[in-house]
């Protein structure tokens, strides 16, 4: 069935001259760490979670990522103010109400619940502590986080909400999140990462592990609105079981610099994952998103659609990979990255990738980087809209496809308002 393999490359650079690049590289060379030194963790409490002590032992002496590490080539850590940061005594996490029978608790409490044994087995399974220096930090020193466990065949009637609040006060605040949607269960979770409006630096390292078991459904809406002094590092991975569905929508607005790894493993036959996201950056923000779609079972579908709008001198990086295992026949895997440059000083990188080990698949990837279409601006101005309003309408339109993936209309409205506010900021 060799004819069945469709690989389409759409790399459109016609309107992007400087400030844009799209390429594929597999170069591996000797890497020089961006930073040397260790996190100041002198105020740490004793380890309380499984794997914490081991992760702490790993962390010491583990090098920071470097300039030749494939995942980190576009994101330098040289300006990370390591010496100004020390471990905070806590991280604030606010959890909304959950119905009876659903576990929605801070990690330590959840592990003591009747489902504790199962949850302990899941913890540390998808994101090993030794992945990099930041996973070791999060696994070893997460002050807080939460577990959501939805028992089999339970449909949670209202959306659940969780907020991780990171204070910009010169501290390291880590969180870890475990979501298990058991067989046949169905839930929507809104996960907000929020800032506190402080003017000092902060560091947030985070691990998010998500299990969508056979026949289960999860709608995960993640909104990153961290403060402008925050350095955000997250490793987020979901495993999707047979005939299960993951609808993951990801919004990135905040942080000084962020590096997020978003990964989906389609582990069961007939599983499906949709990953839609947007980012809007301004000033000197640098947002780096690394995505991975692993097809490990037959008849699986993954579809990634990310959009970025860049203002000011901001930078965005997207690096994506679709991997299709030899066992994953009859697979559809798609990835698209669209980047809209609203300022000549902004810079976007889009680096798609495919690794396909079987023939009977349909996969495609596409990446575009472009400036706002001046004909579109003229058309809207000819109807009386001023320049700013025209651009705002175009950017909101550009993002509408992603915003529309959120099922709650009130959340859609607040996202639109957030996009407009960000566009109204000077740069």
Partner 1 sequence: MAQLEINNLHVSIEGSEIIKGLSLVMRTGEIHAIMGPNGTGKSTLAYTLMGHPNYEVTAGSVTLDGEDVLAMEPNERALAGLFLAFQYPSAVPGVSIANFLRTAINSKRRALDPDDKGIALLDFRRLLIDNMNRLKVSQDFAGRYLNDGFSGGEKKRVEVLQMLTLQPRFAILDEPDSGLDIDAIKIVADGVNLMRGENFGGLIITHYQRILNYVTPDFVHVMLGGRIVASGGAELALDLEENGYEGFEERWAQKAR
Question: Strands, E, within 216-300: which ranges?
Answer: 217-225, 230-240, 245-252, 257-266, 272-281, 286-295
**Which range binds partner 1 by CB under 8 A, 136-144, 260-268, 318-326, 387-395?**
387-395
Q: How many chain residues bind partner 1 (CB under 8 A)? A: 24
Instruction: Verify binding: residue 32, partner 1, rule CB under 8 A.
Output: no
Pick from 131, 169, 303, 396 the residue near partner 1 by CB under 8 A: 396
**Toward partner 1, which CB reaches closer, 26 or 382?**
382
Phi, psi of 330 (to 5 degrees): 55, 50
**Which range binds partner 1 by CB under 8 A, 18-26, 116-124, 279-287, 371-379?**
371-379
The CA distance from 345 to 368, in Å, is: 17
Cβ-proximal residues to 369 (8 Å cutoff; 6+ apart), any chain:
12, 13, 16, 20, 21, 22, 339, 341, 348, 350
Least Å distance, CB 105 to partner 1, is 39
Instruction: Verify binding: residue 378, partner 1, rule CB under 8 A.
Output: yes
Strand partners, 305: 276, 336
Pick from 379, 414, 421, 427 the residue near partner 1 by CB under 8 A: 379
- φ/ψ region of 339 (left if φ > 0, alpha if ψ in -120 to 50, else beta) reads beta
Least Å distance, CB 108 to partner 1, is 44
**Toward partner 1, which CB reaches closer, 158 or 381?**
381
Of 318, 263, 340, the C-alpha closest to 19 is: 340
Pick from 111, 249, 280, 394 the residue near partner 1 by CB under 8 A: 394
Of 314, 260, 319, the C-alpha closest to 282 is: 314
Return the residues of window 397-426 that contact partner 1 according to CB under 8 A.
397-401
Least Å distance, CB 224 to partner 1, is 22
The CA distance from 82 to 71, in Å, is: 21
Q: How far is CA 106 from the centre of its chain?
A: 21
Of 276, 310, 269, the C-alpha closest to 395 is: 310
Instruction: Verify binding: residue 12, partner 1, rule CB under 8 A.
Output: no
Instruction: Verify binding: residue 199, partner 1, rule CB under 8 A.
Output: no
Instruction: Verify binding: residue 23, partner 1, rule CB under 8 A.
Output: no
Residues forming contacts to partner 1 in the complex (CB under 8 A) are: 373-376, 378-387, 389-390, 393-394, 396-401
């Amino acid at each position: 069935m060799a004819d069945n393999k469709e690989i389409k490359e759409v790399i459109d650079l016609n309107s992007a001259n400087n400030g844009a690049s799209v390429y594929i590289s597999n170069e591996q060379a000797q890497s020089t760490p961006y930073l040397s030194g260790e996190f100041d963790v002198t105020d740490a409490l004793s380890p309380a979670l499984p794997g914490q002590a081991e992760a702490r032992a790993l962390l010491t002496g583990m090098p920071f990522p470097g300039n030749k590490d494939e995942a980190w080539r576009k994101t330098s850590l040289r300006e990370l103010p390591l010496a100004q940061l020390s471990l905070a005594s806590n991280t604030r996490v606010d959890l909304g109400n959950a119905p009876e029978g659903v576990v929605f608790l801070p990690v330590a409490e959840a592990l003591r619940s009747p489902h504790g044994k199962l949850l302990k087995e899941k913890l540390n399974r998808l994101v090993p502590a030794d992945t990099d220096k930041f996973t070791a930090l999060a696994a070893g020193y997460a002050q807080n986080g939460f577990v959501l466990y939805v028992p089999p065949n339970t449909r949670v009637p209202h959306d659940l909400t969780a907020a991780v609040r990171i204070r910009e006060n010169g501290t390291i605040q880590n969180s870890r999140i475990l979501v298990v949607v058991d067989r046949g269960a169905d839930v929507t979770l809104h996960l907000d990462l929020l800032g506190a409006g402080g003017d000092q630096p902060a560091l947030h390292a985070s691990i998010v592990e998500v299990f969508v078991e056979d026949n289960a459904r999860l709608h995960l809406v993640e909104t990153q609105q961290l403060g402008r002094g925050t350095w955000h590092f997250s490793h987020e991975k979901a495993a999707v079981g047979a005939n299960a569905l993951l609808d993951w929508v990801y919004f990135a607005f905040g942080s000084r610099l962020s590096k997020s790894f978003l990964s989906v493993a389609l582990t069961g036959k007939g599983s499906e994952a949709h990953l839609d996201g947007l980012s809007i950056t301004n000033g000197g923000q640098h947002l780096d998103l690394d995505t991975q779609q692993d097809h490990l079972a037959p008849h699986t579908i993954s579809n990634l659609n990310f959009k970025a709008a860049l203002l000011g001198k901001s930078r965005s990086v997207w690096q994506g990979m679709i991997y299709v295992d030899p066992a994953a026949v009859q697979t559809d895997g798609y990835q698209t990255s669209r980047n809209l440059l609203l300022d000549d000083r902004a810079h976007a990188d889009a680096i798609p990738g495919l690794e396909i080990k079987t023939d009977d698949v349909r996969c495609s990837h596409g990446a575009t980087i472009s400036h706002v279409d001046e004909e579109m601006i003229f058309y809207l101005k000819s109807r009386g809209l001023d320049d700013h309003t025209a651009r705002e309408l175009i950017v909101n339109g550009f993002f509408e496809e992603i915003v529309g993936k959120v099922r709650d209309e009130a959340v859609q409205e607040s996202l639109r308002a957030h996009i407009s506010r960000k566009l109204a900021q000077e740069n």
